[in-house]
Structure formats: structure tokens, C-alpha cells
Amino acid sequence: MRLHLKEVRESQFLTQRELAAKADVGVSTIVRLEKGHQRPTFQTIKRLAAALGIAPSELVVPDGS
């Protein structure tokens, strides 16, 4: 599983630091998720989606897609 995180973040003109603050996660978490170096927990997906104003399902890209 990967996330559409960078695409959605950039479409909302947010920096990694701004998104991290809104989602109450570390900037390093955002960086690792965007690079695919970390698999997100469901809690992290929910926080990011809420901070971006979207449903969690809009953020997730299933494996093989």
C-alpha cells in the first residue's frame, strides 16, 4: 500500500511542515511516507486525511495499482 500523500499535499499548497503540524505527526514521518520508506498505520492515515479534509480511502493506493 502507498499513499497519494505528496500529490494531495501539493494540490492544497501545503508544505511538509504545515501538513505535519495539522496532522500532529513529525515532519520526518511525512518525508518517509512520501518516499515510500515507511508504511503508515491506520491512525496516521486517519490523521493525515483529516488534516487534508479528505476521506482516508482517497489517500490510499492499493498494492498493485
pLDDT tens-digit series, residues 39-60 = 999 999 999 999 999 999 999 9
Q: How far apart are CA 17 and CA 60, in angstroms?
A: 21
Residue 65: per-residue pLDDT: 59
Which alpha helices (DSSP H) does 1-65 contain, by range? 5-11, 16-23, 27-35, 42-52, 56-59
Report the C-alpha gap between 53 and 50 in whole angstroms. 5
pLDDT at 51: 98
Q: What is the CATH T-level fold of the domain 2-53, as seen in this structure?
A: 434 Repressor (Amino-terminal Domain) (1.10.260)
HSE-CB at 42 with a 13 A cutoff on CA atoms is 0
Give pTM, 2 decimals.
Answer: 0.90
Domain ranges of the chain: 2-53
Sorting pLDDT into bands at 50, 70 and 90, what band is 2? confident
**Could you tell me the pLDDT band of residue 3, with boundaries at 50, 70 and 90?**
confident
